[in-house]
Chains A and B, each alone.
Chain A
Amino acid sequence: MTPDTRTPDFLELDGLLTDDERHVRDAVGRFVDERVLPIIADCFEHERFPTELVSEMAALGLFGPTFKDYGCAGLSNIAYGLIMQELERGDSGLRSFASVQSGLVMYPIHRYGSAEQKERWLPALARAEKVGCFGLTEPDGGSDPGTMKTHARKSAGDWVLNGAKMWITNGTVADVAVVWARTDDGVRGFLVEKGTPGYTARDIHHKFSLRASVTSELFFDDCRVPERNRLPEAAGLSAPLSCLTQARYGIAWGAIGAAQACYREALTFAEQRTLFGQTLIHKQIIQQRLADMLRRITTAQLLAWQLGRLKDQDRMHHTQVSLAKWNNVRMALDVAREARDLLGAGGISVEQVPVRHMLNLESVITYEGTETIHQLIVGRQITGVEAF
């Protein structure tokens, strides 16, 4: 069989997938082609999140798809990764929405929540009748959440929250915020509902990245939250970090989608653009650049697949996720910049996909642990020495 250099799927990842996984990828891929791609450049340009797609994504079953209960599809982690890949082939903003809803809101409620919290929130979140957000990062720094300032104090059976969270995806649109705060017993997680007195949110504007996604600040000013809204099983910083592992896993796949979109556009352009009497594909340097993009996408695909297999076998280590997030997002960002450049002046227009992905990926390489943080996590695993 001729290796697929167009998708690209050079080492036949397709052949490693199950029927279910291929069906899921194709179903989501079609949704992205037909519903996302026609509108997403305009959303990005006008700093608009495509709210109208949320109910369609819910109807498809894209939220919490790995859970076997609460009306979810019970998919493998590889299928979940492929959903992220296809969504991010559309736009990182849409993938971010899904990552937050599934990995950072449904996951902590599923893993750390009470029976009552699960019943109340999980079906509604799966159907996107309710939207959630995840508040960990603070204005004074996201890389070191152990020093968070937001705190919760016990008062007459309730909790009183004070502090602020920054750069929170979906903050102002969320019906419920999963908020992490310091207590006398260490870090704890709280479900703070929209409209709770003392809780406000405000959008962050002037972003040049993830423009088709809502990013907000959250403020807690003597915000009173009942004990039944605390996640009972979450104790310590390891709880929010375990959520990040879920989301980072999805990002490792998602980045591949963004890179594929950029590569395809660069390849088509190189086949059509005639310069110095020949189309660009006749130039050695262009071939080398395309080959390099293909090489990097291919290695990222196989890395993500093996990571998914480990996760499906319940053997995945969080430092493996760090390596994959670092490698794959760096790959995607480099491919996007390369494709942007290859397209010449046209490449600076949002009518071509690379510049949008390139700008989006600046967020993706920063959130869920910056590249440096992931390098330090892997470095600690190698040496046993913390160098943060």
Chain B
Amino acid sequence: MKVLVVVRQVPDSTTTIKIRLDGCDIERTGVKMVVNPFDEFAIELAVQLREKRADVSAVTALIVGPAAAAEALRTALAVGADDGVHLQDPAFDGFDELQLAAAIAAVVRDGGYDLILLGKQEIDLDSGQLGPALAECLDWPHVGATVKAEFAADGRSVTAGRRIEGAEEVVEVRLPAVLTIDKGLCEMRYPSLPNLMRAKKKPVRTLGAADVPGLAAATGALGGTRMQDLQPPPERPPGKIIPGEPEQAARELVRLLREEAKVI
């Protein structure tokens, strides 16, 4: 069984998010970037499968992004992926999730993968589209927001648990399939320092737009969406302090709620 993990790089959750000057994306340069936390679960699941199952022959990590995205790839390799694919080309910059999925599908379609894992969403733009779109492009089944995954002994199918409102749904799916992973399935281990050093020596294929077979046709046909304008949420209007004795102030508060805010 060959497993592919799709990794994305996102701003560290502790950084202050700024909108890029052209208004079409958040600022990603000069910001501390980390592996998308949901993709970390996918990396860990893939590595656990590799460790536990004799029939898992390889785990490949794939990322689309600028040169600096190699850092995220290195983390995946340090945790236990065998090799990496880095799609790096300015042509990919403006891609929406569907176009990205088409590009990734074109690269991995003939790679002999049986399972693709990635996080259920990315914590920066939160679209959650890439996994389902990738499954669509490959015409594979997709299980979203997986919190449990039991792989059949013959490696042909997986029984997956999904958290849904008030219950857990259990679905069985035949491989090849795309699973997007939710919090709760596993936590990624810390990459050890010796493994971080070894990760440098693992093979990474860097591909540009020209190396992706049929890219123009695949993405062009989709049209795609473009981010036009990002706005920060409006600042909250300042609160109002009602002065006076408690009884008076309470009376005034009720009056304001009734007459001005019209909520009671």
Give me the interface of A with B, judged by CB distance under 8 Å.
1-2, 19-20, 23-24, 27-28, 30-31, 56, 59-62, 65, 71-75, 79, 83
* Shortest CB distance B181–A (Å): 19
A381 to B74, CA, bound (A): 45
**B193 and A62 contacting across the interface, CB-CB below 8 Å:** yes
A25 to B116, CA, bound (A): 31
| From B190, B192, B195, contact of A30 by CB (8 A) | B190
**B193 and A65 contacting across the interface, CB-CB below 8 Å:** yes
Indicate whether B234 reaches chain A with its CB closer than 8 angstroms. Answer: no
A373 to B197, CA, bound (A): 38
A60 to B74, CA, bound (A): 16
A73 to B197, CA, bound (A): 7
Indicate whether B128 reaches chain A with its CB closer than 8 angstroms. Answer: no
If A1-B30, A23-B71 touch, whether A59 touches B190 (CB-CB below 8 Å) is: yes
**B192 and A61 contacting across the interface, CB-CB below 8 Å:** yes
Chain B residues near A19 (CB, 8 Å)? 71
A252 to B230, CA, bound (A): 45
Interface of B is mostly: helix
* Shortest CB distance B240–A (Å): 18
In chain B, positions 186-210 with a C-beta closer than 8 Å to chain A are 190-197, 200
A83 to B190, CA, bound (A): 14
If A1-B30, A23-B74 touch, whether A75 touches B190 (CB-CB below 8 Å) is: no
* Shortest CB distance B7–A (Å): 15
**B194 and A71 contacting across the interface, CB-CB below 8 Å:** yes
Chain B residues near A71 (CB, 8 Å)? 194
A84 to B45, CA, bound (A): 31
**A20 and B190 contacting across the interface, CB-CB below 8 Å:** no
Chain A residues near B195 (CB, 8 Å)? 61
Q: How many residues of B contact A (CB 8 A)?
A: 13
* Shortest CB distance A265–B (Å): 14
A71 to B197, CA, bound (A): 12
A135 to B194, CA, bound (A): 30
Q: Closest 8 interchain pairs by CB?
A: A61-B193, A73-B193, A73-B194, A61-B192, A61-B194, A23-B196, A60-B192, A73-B197
Chain B residues near A72 (CB, 8 Å)? 194
**B193 and A75 contacting across the interface, CB-CB below 8 Å:** yes
If A1-B30, A23-B71, A23-B74 touch, whether A60 touches B190 (CB-CB below 8 Å) is: yes
20 interchain pairs, CB-CB under 8 A: A1-B30, A19-B71, A20-B197, A20-B200, A23-B71, A23-B74, A23-B196, A24-B196, A27-B190, A27-B193, A59-B192, A60-B192, A61-B192, A62-B193, A71-B194, A73-B193, A73-B196, A75-B197, A79-B193, A83-B193
Chain B residues near A79 (CB, 8 Å)? 193
Chain A residues near B197 (CB, 8 Å)? 20, 73-75
A352 to B190, CA, bound (A): 27
**A60 and B193 contacting across the interface, CB-CB below 8 Å:** yes
A28 to B30, CA, bound (A): 21
4 further interface pairs, Cβ-Cβ under 8 Å (given A19-B71, A20-B200, A24-B196) = A23-B71, A30-B190, A61-B193, A72-B194
Chain B residues near A24 (CB, 8 Å)? 193, 196
Chain A residues near B75 (CB, 8 Å)? 23
Chain A residues near B192 (CB, 8 Å)? 59-61, 73
| From B190, B194, B200, contact of A31 by CB (8 A) | B190
**B194 and A27 contacting across the interface, CB-CB below 8 Å:** no
* Shortest CB distance A24–B (Å): 6
* Shortest CB distance A264–B (Å): 11
Per-residue A-contact encoding for B170-193, CB less than 8 Å = 1, 0 else: 000000000000000000001111
A74 to B71, CA, bound (A): 20
In chain B, positions 23-48 with a C-beta closer than 8 Å to chain A are 30
A30 to B200, CA, bound (A): 20
* Shortest CB distance A278–B (Å): 16
A62 to B190, CA, bound (A): 12
**Minimal Cβ-Cβ distance residue in B for A74:** B197
A20 to B78, CA, bound (A): 12
* Shortest CB distance A345–B (Å): 25
Q: Which of B71, B193, B197, B200 has the most A CB atoms < 10 Å from its CB? A: B193
A83 to B194, CA, bound (A): 13
Chain A residues near B200 (CB, 8 Å)? 20
Per-residue A-contact encoding for B44-82, CB less than 8 Å = 1, 0 else: 000000000000000000000000000100110000000
A28 to B71, CA, bound (A): 15
A24 to B196, CA, bound (A): 8
